[in-house]
Structure 1
C-alpha cells in the first residue's frame, strides 16, 4: 500500500474517526514551524465531508501500534496535505507519503501535485529535495491583539448583513467567480463549497456576511469564523464590476468586528502572490505572521 516505511510501522486508509489524531499531527508540526497551531479540527472535518471527496481512497495513515504518527491526503486535483509528528521526522515517513501521494495522483490522471508548507520548514526542505518547485508564496496576516481597523465608509446605499439560507447560491457563485480568476484553481461545486462554509462544524449565521448594492444585488461576501481565540477570514470577495469602489475594506472591518463580538482576541487571514492583495491588508494595519510556499511537481 505504501513503500519505504521503517520496520514496525503499518499503514491504512483513514476514516472520519481519525480526524482528531490527524489534527493533532498537523498541530504538532505547526507548533514547531509557526510557534502555534493554526488549523482546527473543524477545518479537517469540513474538508473530509465534501460530497466529492472519498476519504478511503484519498488518505493514508502511518501508525506505530495504535498511534497515528503521519498521514497523507490527496484533497483534490493536484492538492495534497501531509504531516509527520516531529518525534518521527527524519525516518523517511515524509518521503514514503510523498511517493504514495504522487502515485495516487498519477492514477487519477492529475498533471501535477502540490502542497503549501511553511517556508523553511522540514516539509519545505523535503519537497525541495524531492524536486518540487515554488509556484507561489503565501502569507498569514494578523491584526494584532488590541489593534483595530478604522471604519471605512461605503458608498451610499450599500449594506452588509448576514447571508440568509436563500442567499447561499448567490454567495457561492460570487465567490467562485472571483476566485476562478486564478487560472490554476478549479471551480468548486456548490455542494463542496457548502461543506466548507455553512456545513462547517459550528457554523452560525454571522459567519457568512453579504454585501448588497443599493438595488439589493449581492456584490460582495465574506466568510469568517472562530479558530480558537482568533477570528479567521477564510474568504472575501467583491464582484468584478464593483471593484475599485472601496468595498473590500468595509467587508474586512465588519468581519473583524463580528469575530471580536463573538470572543476573538485577534484576527487573521491568508493571501498569496496570485491575489496581489497583501498591500491592501497591510494598509489597514495587518502584519505578516507567517510565510508559506506552495510547491508543486509535474507528474
Structure 2
C-alpha cells in the first residue's frame, strides 16, 4: 500500500468500507456546493460504484478522519480513474496534496501508468492539481434545460420503437453501451456483472430509468439511462446509439422521452453531461440546452 499520509496532528487515516458511503457522499456534497454552487452527488452513486464485483473498496480507497468524522477521501476506481475530495473546512492543511500522492502511488501499485480525476474548472482542486503537475486530458460540461423549456420532438423513423428496457434486454443494453463508449473512451471493457451492479443494481433503480430504441428486427440500437435525483432533476446519465443507426434522430427522441418520463414523476429540471472527446456539446446546445458547470479531467503519469 502507499506510504502513510503525512497528516496534520489529530487526523488519522484508514481504508474505507461500503458502510462509509454516506460519509463520502457528505464530503463530496460539501465540496461540490462550495465549488459549483450545487450538489450533484448522491449516496446511490457511491454505492452503485463500490458494489461492483470487480471492485475491492478496502484496497481502492483511503479516508482521512478527524476523530470519527470523515474530512477527506481518495479512491482509485479502476483503470486510470480516480477521485478525491476534501471538506472545504479542512482545506489549506496539505490533505489534498497527500491524497494526490496516494492516488499516484496506489495506481502505480495496480500497474496503471496514468491516473486522472475530474475537478471543477478553476476550483481549488483544479489549481492544486495544476501546481502538482497534473495536466488536462479533456473538458466536461454539465448542461441543463432552462425552466419550462423542452427539447424539440423528433419522431422515430419507420421500423423503430421506443420503450422501457426489460430484464431480458439487459445483456444487449450492456453490450451497446460498452461498444459505443469505447469508441472514444480509453478504458477497459466493463464486464456484465459490474454493469448489472451499477445500473439495475443501483439503489432506487426502477425499470422506467432504462429506455431503449429497437429496430425492425427488435434489436436494441439506442439507449438512455435517466435518473431522478433527490433534488428533483431528470438526469440522463448514459445516452448511446449504435454506429450503424446514427444520424436518424434516435438520440434526440430518447432525450425527449427520458426528460418527459422524469417530469411525469416530479422532475422540475432536466440535465446531462458530455465531454470534449465525444464532440456532442454543439448538438445539445442546438436543442436548447445550456452549460451550467465546466469540469476538467486532470491526470498525471504515476512515475512523474
> Is TM (by shorter chain) over 0.5?
yes
Counterpart of 2:63 in structure 1 is 61
SS of the residue 1:147 aligns to: coil
5+ long unaligned stretches in structure 1 = none
Secondary structure of 1:275's aligned partner: coil
Separation (CA, whole Å) in 2 of partners of 1:245 and 1:34:
35
- RMSD of aligned alpha carbons: 0.9
Among 229, 237, 244, the residue aligned to 2:247: 244
Gaps of 5+ in 2: none
Matched, 1:26 2:25: no
1:190-229 to structure 2, matched below 5 A, reads: 190-228=192-230, 229=232
Contact 2:79 2:187 in 1 (8 A): no
Equivalent residue in structure 2 for 1:294, among 269, 294, 297: 297
1:282 matched residue in structure 2: 285
Any idea what SS the aligned residue of 2:227 has? strand
Report deviation, 1:217: 1.4
CA-CA distance at 1:185 after TM superposition: 2.4
- SS for the counterpart of 2:89 is helix
**Could you give the per-residue CA deviations for residues 3-60 of structure 1, whole angstroms, max 9, x where no partner exists?**
3211111000011111111000000000011111001111011011011100011100
Alignment of 1:142-157 (within 5 A): 142-157=144-159
SS of the equivalent of 1:105 reads: helix
Q: Quote the residue 1:89 is aligned against.
A: 91
CA distance in 1, matches of 2:131, 2:78: 23
Query: Which residue pairs with 1:256 in the alignment?
Result: 259
Q: Is the 8 A contact 1:2 1:96 kept in 2?
A: no
Aligned counterparts of 1:246 and 1:132: Cα–Cα separation in 2: 38
Correspondence for 1:177 among 179, 182, 186: 179
How far does the alpha carbon of each residue in 1:231-259 deviate from its partner, in whole angstroms, 9 at most, with x for none?
Answer: 11011111100111121100110110111
